[in-house]
Amino acid sequence: MSALPAVPAEVPVLRLSDGVDAAVEALLGRCGLELQRVPGGAAIPFSYWGETEAGIEGRRVYARADTPVHSVLHEAAHVLCMDGARRAQLARDAGGDFDEENAVCCLQVLLADLLPGVGAARLLADMDRWGYTFRLGSARDWYEREADEARAWLVRHGLVGADGRPTLRSRC
């Protein structure tokens, strides 16, 4: 893996309203997911954390224009990483274990690389600004130095191919 470019600290967290909403919607569609837009000021249905955080139900990801892109991709990655039985019952709480959560974080970064104007470096910087916590102190350090098990989990479950790229399929 090559070194990621630095993202200046003053760059604000990227939100759907920053011109990436159509690309995010198209990517989710390629994954068999639906981006369900929520009107500004309305509560986001099925959001685990509330406020601007994305919500999930079945194969739907709910978000407003002010929802951070990292939140949409994280929740989408949860839907993709869970097995079909859990997905069929999904309403707000993705559940899962430690290994799956790490795989979700890794997959959201890989998905960001498929979005023009986003990319892994930007997403990892946004994850740090938002307060994701990793043992090594930053999302980027975790991703570059410690995410091999998460990548292996994704490959084992068919979410990432041998080439390291997302397959855009759900776990069965």
Query: Number of structural domains, the chain?
Result: 1
Sign for the pseudo-dihedral over CA of 72, 73, 77, 78 = negative
Residue 169 within any structural domain of the chain: no
Residue 10 within any structural domain of the chain: no
Structure tokens at 169: 């399929």
pTM: 0.96
Q: What is the pLDDT of residue 8?
A: 85
Query: Residues 46-73: pLDDT tens digits?
Result: 999 999 999 999 999 999 999 999 999 9
The bridge status of strand 34-37 relative to strand 55-57 is unpaired
In angstroms, rounded to a whole number, what is the distance separating the alpha carbons of residues 82 and 157?
A: 10
Residue 7 within any structural domain of the chain: no
Q: Which of 120, 119, 169 has its CA nearest to residue 140?
A: 120
Mean pLDDT over 99-110 rounds to: 97
Q: What is the pLDDT of residue 1?
A: 58
Residue 1 within any structural domain of the chain: no
Q: What is the pLDDT of residue 159?
A: 98
Residue 25 within any structural domain of the chain: yes
Residue 75 within any structural domain of the chain: yes
Q: What is the pLDDT of residue 6?
A: 86
Query: Residues 114-137: pLDDT tens digits?
Result: 999 999 999 999 999 998 878 778
Query: Residues 20-56: pLDDT tens digits?
Result: 999 999 999 999 999 999 999 999 999 999 999 999 9
Q: Assess whether pLDDT exceeds 80 at residue 164.
A: yes
Q: What is the average pLDDT value for the chain, to the nearest integer?
A: 95
Which structural domain range is residue 71 located in?
A: 16-156
Q: Assess whether pLDDT exceeds 70 at residue 2.
A: no
CA distances from 6 to 11, 125, 142 (A): 11, 9, 15
